[in-house]
Chain A
């Protein structure tokens, strides 16, 4: 996908991102675990891209590699037209932040809420005096729906939903334009999930941030995303507008993934037929040749084993990587 890079078009441009982890298999021998193997996508300012897939498909690694929590093995990441490198990542983190899955382990239990939210401000020197720091923290807490008296409390005093609000306030502290949300609601109760999802949407309307929304709950992803990318074993197999993907999925993996969602609506659930996949995800240490999905795919042919399919446009930006469909 060689595109002309126009600064205005996309906020986030990822080309052929690769992340291999060395795995020791013997005394000195290591083999690469291809967690992310050539992933490309773009996100516009103020847009939400949903990233879905089963556990082990590399969706979390994509998010973490973008923020250089892992050193990428290959590929390029342009943020607002600027190539992200080791040199400029520190200053770029003012514009890119992350919200983690587990609101219990991602907050330091020895720090007060004020210090947790204030830490990014300290790191990036975003205040002139103590009063300004305090005011900024209060504004952020109000923005995410926390009371001012919570500021001096510790993380363990809060429920899961409130902790996630603290995590979001921390991410928003530097006024970012792009937030990687790694399963931000999956640790929360159903009735609390809706509160946090609505907050993400309101913040986007208010502040114009773009999200990479990583989750395994497809209904939630469909609800919040403008576009969705489906990952399987380190590669994107299909990407399209959220509604288009759900109404006209093309890739056999997307089809079975969508049909496997337990639908909270008895009539629809009874009418829909599940496409049950045989077997399980192969180990990423021993990836099948060609198309990674071919071992579980009902349509697999010899060509799928020989050659990996590339993403091709099937109209209106609906990209699919499949030989047969």
Chain B
């Protein structure tokens, strides 16, 4: 267990460093003069003459070797100085933090909805294995995984916002504006969770320990609640971690369609406008958060699973 923890944490650190290095390289690999791009992200006001550029190049240390520049960039970054957005000429951090909160809350609500619904549906399908209920739920999960969000979203908007006028079609203003985005975002995790819960429950149901529990006099429902559901839900912990990471980026489409000022939207705009500092800040935040969350999911799984908790491997 301790070894597992250590290895996970080490992997986390390495990933974050690697990702940050790749992100650091953006201005160097994109078309155009990197020096001008970097200066643009550091200094307010427009640059006109060549001599000013040269002065600033030396002043900002842009003639230093790349590793040195990287370390300096990273230390700035860690202390919260991520440069200025090209488009708004304001510090990147001021854009990233509010966007991050919006995306996080969207993600948390979505995953909670998906996990609860999937637990109910997956358990029901497993207990009714092979019957109509199971077949309908299974068919539904298969259909949902093939559903493009950028199609479902306009269709839902068409129905609920334009025709029925019960929900806002876009924007970020209170709980009602969250309904449609959450519905669209939840379909794929829901589908994935449901089939995982169903499989987990079937495995748990098929375990000989279930028959043995009956043979010790537990009733069917006692057996299901004590020995099937807790075991069958275990896979959800890891999956939630993975999807947490997936949704932070998967929300690009939904945030663009519903005009939600979250991380997805921020990154999209940054790429469209070639706003390099904004993209750098956004990507690093998303990646760090994603890696941390996935690791957390794994650790939770390990803690809940006695086999791993006690292993010394």
Bound pair (A, B)? no
